[in-house]
Structure 1
């Protein structure tokens, strides 16, 4: 089992909200209105760990090890929402999300293949790590800069934990797991070809609720994410390139084969599909 080791590892680096966040360094003159509004939106978005955990537990009922790990992931992701709300409670109480605003993003996700979902969230952790690093640079107020830096490090550790479960899946399921990971990897490393930000909170997950079946579509401002990325933190091609590089690097480690480009990973995906007798069309965004 991976859970006991991951518990010990993540417990050893867990930060304390009261002791490790420099609340006393807050400078009101350095917090703009638009920056404060983005903190609220991210606080609500992080609350999506709740429906995601319900999905993971439902779709991994046969995997008690991974389900136990969800207790760590869920706790730390909800803590992200909590620390952002605490920042607002202390310094912009008028912007603290209401319980109803938080509850709006709790809805059921349609069942999906567990291996593909695992890879999707692994890539999501990589992307969010980079988004938060960029957000820390964009903000001017020192406390929220420190918070985003802290959250980005958590997301990187979560990605590392997911990677451990992906390695285990390859040991258990071989090419079936590799094909699932390569399929989603090609999609998530191809953000430049899509009009939407490729992150689990921005993908459609419930056909019955379409088009309000993404986390972002149920925020108080559904257009917020694209504006935050493009106009505010300016997550440009160079930053997107860093995300793609990390996805390809980790795919290379997983598959024991070097991938320098998405095209190389896509060719490998087609090889795997051919060996499994599957159709080899291009992966499409959900």
Structure 2
């Protein structure tokens, strides 16, 4: 089981909110209202690990190994929400998310093919790793810079964990898994052409709640994500290239195929059976 291995590896890298955050280094003069508001939005977005976990457990009832891993992923993602809220509680309590704002992002996602969902979240973790690195650079207050650096490292480890389950899936399902990963890889790596930052939190997931069926649409400020990326942390084309490069490098190793561009990946996808 991968769960046992991942438990130990992630446990050894886990940070402590009480002892590993330099709370005493907080500098109020270096935190703007604009920056503080983005922390609130990130905290609420991280809370959406709750409905995502419910989705994973529902759609992977036949996979106890992966479902057990969700206990780790869910804990660490909710901890991200918690540390951001603890920061606000200590230093900007006026912006601490209300319970109803957190609960607003909890709704049932439609069932989806597990392999495609796995790939979607793998790509999401790669993207979030880069988003949080930029956030750490953009912020000027030292404590929140440190927090975003920790979150970024966690997301990178989560991507690595998902990748292990993807490798296992290829061993079990062969070309069906390869086709699912290539299909979602083309979608997630082509966001520069769609001019939309594709991530699980801004994709539609429920016909019943459409169009209010993305995590971002349920935030207090639904337009926040695009402003955060374009105007605040300035996630530009070079940053996007790092996301795409990370997806392609990992898929090249996973699929044992040299993939230097989205076009290469799309050509490879067409050689596989449709899923």
TM-score (ref. length: structure 2) = 0.99
Matched, 1:218 2:194: no
- For residue 63 of structure 1, what is the aligned residue in structure 2? 63
- For residue 102 of structure 1, what is the aligned residue in structure 2? 102
For 1:196 and 1:46, locate their aligned partners in 2 and report how far apart those are by CA, in whole Å.
20
- For residue 25 of structure 1, what is the aligned residue in structure 2? 25
Matched, 1:3 2:3: yes
Structure 1: runs of 5+ lacking an equivalent: 280-286
Matched length? 275
Deviations for 1:27-82, whole angstroms, at most 9, x for unmatched residues? 00000000000000000000000000000000000000000000000000000000
- For residue 248 of structure 1, what is the aligned residue in structure 2? 248
TM-superposed CA distance for 1:195, in Å, is 3.5
- For residue 194 of structure 1, what is the aligned residue in structure 2? 194
For 1:160 and 1:170, locate their aligned partners in 2 and report how far apart those are by CA, in whole Å.
16
TM-superposed CA distance for 1:265, in Å, is 0.3
Deviations for 1:182-229, whole angstroms, at most 9, x for unmatched residues? 000000000111142200000000011111000000000000000000
Query: What are the equivalent positions in structure 2 for 1:7-156 lying under 5 Å apart?
Result: 7-156=7-156
Structure 2: runs of 5+ lacking an equivalent: none
Question: Does the 8 A contact of 1:196 with 1:202 survive in 2?
Answer: no
Deviations for 1:123-175, whole angstroms, at most 9, x for unmatched residues? 00000000000000000000000000000000000000000000000000000
Structure 1 SS opposite 2:106: coil
For 1:141 and 1:53, locate their aligned partners in 2 and report how far apart those are by CA, in whole Å.
32
Structure 2 SS opposite 1:70: helix
For 1:270 and 1:196, locate their aligned partners in 2 and report how far apart those are by CA, in whole Å.
24
TM-superposed CA distance for 1:16, in Å, is 0.2
Structure 2 SS opposite 1:172: helix
- For residue 268 of structure 1, what is the aligned residue in structure 2? 268
TM-superposed CA distance for 1:110, in Å, is 0.2
Deviations for 1:70-125, whole angstroms, at most 9, x for unmatched residues? 00000000000000000000000000000000000000000000000000000000
- For residue 230 of structure 1, what is the aligned residue in structure 2? 230
Stretches of 4+ aligned residues off by more than 3 angstroms: none
Structure 1 SS opposite 2:271: helix
For 1:168 and 1:143, locate their aligned partners in 2 and report how far apart those are by CA, in whole Å.
38
For 1:194 and 1:84, locate their aligned partners in 2 and report how far apart those are by CA, in whole Å.
31
TM-superposed CA distance for 1:236, in Å, is 0.2
For 2:178 and 2:24, locate their aligned partners in 1 and report how far apart those are by CA, in whole Å.
48
Question: Does the 8 A contact of 1:53 with 1:74 survive in 2?
Answer: yes
Question: Does the 8 A contact of 1:137 with 1:145 survive in 2?
Answer: yes
